[in-house]
Copies of this chain bind each other. A is one copy, B any other.
Amino acid sequence: MAIEHGSTARYTPSVSSRRVAAATKLEPTRARLDVEERRRQLVALGHELFSTRTYDEVSIDELARAAGISKGLLYHYFPTKRDFYIATVREAAKQLLDRTDTPRHMDLGDRLDAGIAAWLDYVSEHGPAFISLLRSGIGADVEVARIVDDTREAFLRRLLEEAPIEKPSPIVRVALRGWVGLVESAAVEWLGSQRAVKREVLHKFLVETFLGIIQMAAKEG
């Protein structure tokens, strides 16, 4: 995870190549790609670091040290620690949505099962970050809150597409949004209890509540 100090040289070409590109007006595309690639590497590293520790626990000095670059260069890519953090939250949301996406050709029950398994994998791996995001920590930030909300909305859209219901009525939408809230809250409680409940018990519970809630809502709608 931590990139060693000695590797600094490996990570500076983007800046020098940008200088060359600016001077000679050659390869501006390559230079831009370098910057984007470097940002991606830094975001991946930040995502790792913020996975097991909260925003306040990770200092900008440590982030720069782990990336093997100077603080100044880190600020070149991300003007503030918060900007950097927001980029890692965006990356986390993207990974969560990607990993829980299931092949359309699968049977609905299997998709639900696979989706819940992938979701539990992800929150198990990123427990502290997940709890701090949903619980308070940096939930502080309006932009972070928007990413969390957008992710919920993306899950909701996916569930509405997948739900075994012809034309979802408003109560089905409310019910599915409620289920997303149930999954999040149950997971926070589960992680906070040092996983006092066996994972397969929680998994089964989430599958059953999904089916039960859809049924109840369909009956009402």
List residues of A whose CB falls within 8 A of some B CB: 135-137, 139-142, 145-146, 148-149, 152, 170-171, 173-175, 177-186, 188-190, 193, 196-197, 201-202, 204-205, 208-209, 212-213, 216-217, 220-221
Contact B149 A174 (CB under 8 A): no
CB-contact partner of A139 in B139, B175, B201, B209, under 8 A: B139
Copies in the complex: 2
Write the chain B residue with the least CB distance to A202: B174
Chain A contact residues: helix, strand, loop or mixed:
helix
Contact A209 B216 (CB under 8 A): yes
Jot down 19 A-B pairs with beta carbons below 8 A, ordered by A.
A135-B145, A136-B148, A137-B145, A139-B139, A140-B141, A140-B142, A170-B193, A170-B196, A171-B201, A171-B205, A177-B185, A180-B185, A181-B184, A182-B182, A182-B185, A182-B213, A205-B217, A212-B212, A212-B213
Q: Which residues of B contact A140 (CB under 8 A)?
A: 139-142, 145
CB-contact partner of A174 in B145, B173, B178, B190, under 8 A: B190
A155: shortest Cβ distance to chain B, in Å?
11
Write the chain B residue with the least CB distance to A193: B170
A198: shortest Cβ distance to chain B, in Å?
9
Q: Which residues of B contact A180 (CB under 8 A)?
A: 185
Q: Which residues of B contact A209 (CB under 8 A)?
A: 178, 209, 212-213, 216
Q: Which residues of B contact A139 (CB under 8 A)?
A: 136, 139-140, 145
A133: shortest Cβ distance to chain B, in Å?
11
